Amino acid sequence: MSWSKHFRRSCLLMLFVALLGSCSKREPEPDAQGWRYYRGDPGSNAYSNLDFINRDNVKNLEVAWIYQTGDTSSGSSIQCNPLIIDGVLYGISAGAKAFALNAATGEQLWSFDPSQRTSGDFYGGTHRGLVYWEGDGEKRLFYCVGPELLALDANTGKPDTAFGTEGAVDLKRDLDLLASRKAAYITNTSPGVIYNDLLIIGSSVHEAYGSLPGHIRAYHVKTGELKWKFHTIPHPGEFGHDTWPENYYQYGGGVNAWGGMSIDYQRGIVFIPLGSATHDFYGADRHGPGLFSNCILALDAETGSYRWHYQVSRHDLWDYDLPTAPNLTSILVDGQPLDVVVQLTKQGLVFILDRDTGKPVFEIEERPVPASSVEGEAAWPTQPFPTRPPPLVRQHFTPDMITSITPESRESVKEQLTGYEFGPIYTPPSLSGIVQLPGFRGGAEWSGGAVDPETGYLYIGLNDIPNMVKLIEGKPDLLIGENESIADFGRRVYDINCASCHGPDLEGSVQFPALSSIEKKLSIDDALKLISTGRGMMPSFGTIPESDRRSVLSFLYGMNEREAREFLSQQHEASEPGQTAFFPQKYKLEAYQQLRDHLGYPGIEPPWGILGAVDLNQGDILWKVPLGEYEELSQLGIPATGTQLFGGGIVTAGGVIFIGASRDEKFRAVDKSNGQILWEYQLPAGGYATPATYVVNKEQYVVIAAGGGGMQGTRSGDYYFAFKLPETSQ
């Protein structure tokens, strides 16, 4: 499409919006040249109508500019999908700095470092994007750092002191908490949405006993005043309360929207994907289906009142949170257009629902699933299965699916699985252990799918790697023994809070770093801060008394008793080791681990990472191809296996899908008609983020954060790369 046609289309769209200016609902102006919203548009479709770069010329892409944030650290990552508005790019760094760049040159315009704030708790965490608002001559950006929702002036990067308290709202407020829970962890990894003068947001919380609830809240964009709140764990007298034990609302946690949300301005509805309740893998204290856990929830955006819901899994025991904002698009049903909600899931199932009613477009069957063998557990007897589209990833695990990339790999996996149960999706966790497929990381993940509105086709990166799930008996009492050393007590604290990720032997995994030689990587003061604040994929453990945090470090750093007691004497809190009230843990997860062979490759036959296309109109899978490769396996003659994927793709009118995501750290352009790779670029660190595209000075750019690290365990980086065509090709 020529520049003049793009300009005419933009003018017509703006004229149309102007004619609707008298309407009571303020629908934002469309942005044909920029990337004004997280994931591209209010419906989270990650689509651009730009076609200057297309399947014919994309092979000529060159680096336009590179920006480095300067604050990378070991294991850090950047998952930000940047915004580009009026020629300015807004992004977030690995260390939670917000910044603005000239989108044509990459020149920094301003940078804001939240760690320099004089008040509030700072922890880096994960940041997938920002929210932009403008009105009454003002421009604002919003994002969360630690438990605080921050408001910045988009022109200067300085805090908007009229918002909340000195530019921040504490997310621990307004949760109806018992006093004992107010120190628990909360932040927000994905941005919220704007409706008129409301900022609607979810939250990220811990996933174990004692976690905070994930109530949805709306704040006034100028003042930070709470305007409405929806209890995702219903209180007495509210719809859904009877789907939980009577008092669960007082102590239950989770049921939070950490994957973002989508909004329909014309209908005034916000669509919210919700996660599971806590504890993720054992639910004897939460018998029942548990509304609104694992639901697509539709609320009135102005008031927060309930419209409808659809629960995609009941009494979740598998960490099958709804991981991403739903796609709001239109499809053809019996030849007629229908506005729908498309929800992708970790299970690899796709739920397509009528946007007004929540009723399924294609039949969904209620099928029986296995019962639990664990004491006190009551797994729900049935689960919903869409008949179309078919599952996008494998739905069961059997011994013949064990990897055979080498004989040694196969034997190493078989040995690990001695005594484990195999079965279909929704086989409940057990004390002997199960192989869970799909795994915790999908199917779909937080990066979601991209929808082409011209065709109704959806493009999605998928993981197809099992997890090993085994329950062990919990330890409700954590008191230091009469003759127990501080370091030995610290080992017990580690086993309860840290071993499921970093391993009982401290050796870590592909996803989590080893701690066996932590003294060579991190000073003890930095480690103490890290435990308290969290960083990247590691949450804060600030709810554990400082004495217990210091006891863990005395174990990890190999202190003798005299050194450990001196270290404890330096604490700021008045507490003794073990003097805390822990939430009851009858059973808990032994280890948060994927099934992998002795070399670290997934323990199932490939493909392990997939890029796929789905026709939403017919409910058909159009094509699937492996995405990513292990070069060393390719050199052995093993076909491309795909790799674990973190980070989404976008689709353009030029016929191209742009996606990083793969563990081989490449950024690719893919033909949307067949999955063929048209161009690729080797990044210095993995592009585990969703890219964006925009036009400045009549040139189209594509930008992606290359932060590496994170759950992929590859090298970390601090880069933003922008690409464009040579002038002769534009």
pLDDT in tens, 153-206: 999 999 999 999 999 999 988 887 654 456 678 999 999 999 999 999 999 998
Q: What CA dihedral angle connects 26, 32, 38 and 41, to 10 degrees?
A: 60
Return the exposure string of 339-349: e unless at least 16 CB atoms fall within 10 Å of the residue's CB, then b: ebbbbbbbbbb
Query: Checking phi first, is residue 136 left (phi over 0); if not, alpha (psi -120 to 50) or beta?
Result: left
Locus of tokens 């934002």: 28
**DSSP track, 186-214:** EE-SS--EEETTEEEE--EE-SSTTPPB-
| Residue among 247, 258, 171 nearest 206 (CA) | 258
**The pLDDT value given to residue 531:** 78
Q: Give CA–CA dist 20/381, Å, rounded.
A: 50
Which pair of tokens denotes residue 535?
A: 């960083």
Instruction: Check pLDDT > 70 for residue 12.
Output: no
What is the reported pTM? 0.89
pLDDT in tens, 621-668: 999 999 999 999 999 999 999 999 999 999 999 999 999 999 999 999
Average pLDDT (595-600) is: 96
Percent of the chain with pLDDT over 90: 72
The mean predicted confidence, pLDDT, of the chain is 90
Q: Give CA–CA dist 463/160, Å, rounded.
A: 40
Average pLDDT (351-376) is: 97
**The pLDDT value given to residue 589:** 87
Backbone angles phi, psi at 320, to 5 degrees: -90, 55
pLDDT in tens, 412-437: 999 999 999 999 999 999 999 999 99
- Which residues are registered as beta bridge partners of 116? none
pLDDT in tens, 115-155: 887 555 566 678 999 999 999 999 999 999 989 999 999 99
Task: Output the furthest CA–CA distance in the chain (Å, rounded).
Answer: 81
- Any idea what DSSP says for residue 511? S
pLDDT in tens, 273-284: 999 999 899 999
- Which residues are registered as beta bridge partners of 262? 271
Burial of residue 631 (CB within 10 Å: 0-12, 13-18, 19+) is: exposed
Specify the higher pLDDT residue, 118 or 585: 585
Q: Do 289 and 380 meet the contact criterion of CB atoms below 8 Å apart?
A: yes
Q: Do 84 and 99 meet the contact criterion of CB atoms below 8 Å apart?
A: no
CA distances from 720 to 66, 105, 641, 667, 685 (A): 6, 12, 27, 12, 10
β-strands 47-48, 649-652 pairing? parallel
Amino acid at residue number 703? V
Q: Where are the beta strands (DSSP E) in 277-370?
A: 295-300, 306-311, 327-333, 336-344, 350-354, 364-368
Percent helix, strand, coil in the chain (nearest 5)?
15, 30, 55
What the chain holds in terms of domains, given with CATH numbers, is: 1-27 (no CATH), 477-581 (1.10.760.10)
